[in-house]
Structure 1
Amino acid sequence: MAKGKKGGSKGKKITLKMARKALRVTPEGKRRLDLSNMGIDIFPKCLLKLTDLEEVDLSRNQLKRIPDFIGQLIGVLFLDLHSNYIEQLPKSIGQLESLCHLNLCNNSLDSAGLPADIGNLKSLQTLNLGMNRITALPPTMASLSSLKELALFDNMITVLPECIRMLPKLKKINIKRNPIAYAQKDAKDTKATEGLYLVREDDLCKLCLEKCREKKQRQERTQFFDQSQRRGRLSGLITPNSVARSNHESRR
């Protein structure tokens, strides 16, 4: 990595020639650009001239900012930006209507860095937001009608976001190591919350559905008792995870 004039480090600049050399065709026939782990600190604008790109890997670099022109990469199906220093996504991210897979794991995103426009990604099937500083999700994410898998592990979420309940195709969610787990009373509840899987009621047989509802009712009664015992000591935190528990049990 080259040194800057003032002694600071300077990221590698990617030219169109370098980008074309990094192009590969996957076994599935997709045109993939792999620029991972190259010390890049500025999103390469030359990518706009590669109009047939379908997969872009810019992971393990030094990116802090994603430019507005990313919205012009309308043909990209797979975008991997994990292990950078990204603090905020531009509103134009919502213009990637063909995007199916987005990996933003291990960055510096907080809730303010997630624009409402992310809800416009109608083709998105997997979204990895793990290892960031997120406390809440934009309500517009309820519009991600194709989303099947959502990773939120190692964040700062205290209550399971309500918008998750409205995702029609969501099958798997990973919320391990969030403060939401620490608010549960016993290890059983913590383990169940961390390994949460979402299932629509229509997918369950009648017997399984009845068992889930009975268990939910038992937990609600236990929770009510616990709350009454702790009311004086934690008056401001009476039901911090009631929604999370209800969602988990009703969708198992």
Structure 2
Amino acid sequence: MVKGKGKVKGKKITLKTAKNSIRILFDGKRRLDLSKMGIAALPKCLLKLSDIEELDLSRNFIRKIPDWIQRFQNLRWLDVHTNQIEKIPVSIGQLQNLLYLNVCNNKLTANGIPVELSQLKNLRQLNLGLNRIDMLSTTLGNLKELKEVCVFDNQLTSVPSSILNLPKLKKINTKRNPIQDTEEKTEEEQETIQRVKCLHLVNEKDLCSPCLAKCQMEKSKLMKLKNLMNSAMRNPFSINLVSPNSTAKETMINGGEWEQKRDIQ
């Protein structure tokens, strides 16, 4: 994280400099790359380029994302990692086309993450790693398109089940947080955490026939075990009853660390 006392004066960016920093991507989209430019504040002249699709402001000295960021309605990719940002503006919720948001390695706290972030209905990747966040809002569970979440190197003691249960979530990185031991959690929270720990999502078409059959067999075993446990919970007085010629089976699900992907850079 960028360290230092007092305000950094920073380099001033002109409209000409910004225009010369636009790159055309392989898919024809335009990326405005102002990374590593020594910028401390964003000039309003950038509004003349508000039709760009990607904006890279990483590795600067930026303390604030201006409210007028909402004018960048075509923005699908916003990278502001490694700056000095303390708060994400409420107006970011207006960027309905945003797919990728990286605010890693800043000075964000829980108060610096607005509820309006949950309005980004198309967001696929969110990186909040390397900040000072001690709590995540349950409203992030509204981001139904989220596939990857990074919250490593923060001060989290738990992750809301609304996030863990996101329908398209494939990877979540919670490394180096003081996450509470699952023994201190409720039964429902433990089940949710174990589900994500053991989760490896693939398409059936990507598996060979033997592997697909094995996965289906394991799934069947887990479902039978779950039904057995649910039945036992509903009939607690029958747990110790043994029927003739019954066979006890034990299924062990190996634990594991949270899945993680490389930092979203």
Same fold (TM over 0.5): yes
The match for 2:134 is 135
- The alpha-carbon deviation at position 184 of structure 1 amounts to 6.2
Judged with a 3 Å threshold, the aligned counterparts in structure 2 of structure 1 residues 198 and 173 are, in CA distance, closer, same or farther, namely: farther
Judged with a 3 Å threshold, the aligned counterparts in structure 2 of structure 1 residues 117 and 208 are, in CA distance, closer, same or farther, namely: same
The match for 1:14 is 13
* Alignment check: 8 A CA contact 1:55 1:79 kept: yes
| 1:5-84 equivalence runs, <5 A | 9-84=8-83
Corresponding position: 1:205 with 2:216 = yes
* Alignment check: 8 A CA contact 2:22 2:33 kept: yes
Judged with a 3 Å threshold, the aligned counterparts in structure 2 of structure 1 residues 197 and 159 are, in CA distance, closer, same or farther, namely: same
Bigger helix share: 1
* Alignment check: 8 A CA contact 1:173 1:196 kept: no
Judged with a 3 Å threshold, the aligned counterparts in structure 2 of structure 1 residues 115 and 198 are, in CA distance, closer, same or farther, namely: farther
Counterpart of 1:68 in structure 2: which amino acid? D
The match for 1:165 is 164
Counterpart of 2:105 in structure 1: which amino acid? N
- The alpha-carbon deviation at position 213 of structure 1 amounts to 8.6
Give the SS at the match of 1:92: helix
* Alignment check: 8 A CA contact 1:173 1:197 kept: no
Counterpart of 2:26 in structure 1: which amino acid? P
Structure 2 alignment gaps of length 5 or more: 1-5, 184-189, 205-214, 230-254, 259-265
Corresponding position: 1:90 with 2:89 = yes
Q: What is the Cα-based RMSD across aligned positions, in Å?
A: 3.1
Judged with a 3 Å threshold, the aligned counterparts in structure 2 of structure 1 residues 144 and 14 are, in CA distance, closer, same or farther, namely: same
Q: For residues 108 and 24 of structure 2, what CA distance do their matches in structure 1 show?
A: 31
Taking structure 1 as the reference length, what is the TM-score of the superposition?
0.72
* Alignment check: 8 A CA contact 1:102 1:126 kept: yes
Judged with a 3 Å threshold, the aligned counterparts in structure 2 of structure 1 residues 144 and 60 are, in CA distance, closer, same or farther, namely: same
Counterpart of 2:18 in structure 1: which amino acid? A
Judged with a 3 Å threshold, the aligned counterparts in structure 2 of structure 1 residues 9 and 121 are, in CA distance, closer, same or farther, namely: closer
Give the SS at the match of 1:169: coil
Structure 1 alignment gaps of length 5 or more: 1-6, 219-244
Counterpart of 2:62 in structure 1: which amino acid? L
Identity %: 49
* Alignment check: 8 A CA contact 2:51 2:72 kept: no
- The alpha-carbon deviation at position 44 of structure 1 amounts to 2.9
- The alpha-carbon deviation at position 206 of structure 1 amounts to 5.5
* Alignment check: 8 A CA contact 1:77 1:98 kept: yes
Counterpart of 2:218 in structure 1: which amino acid? L
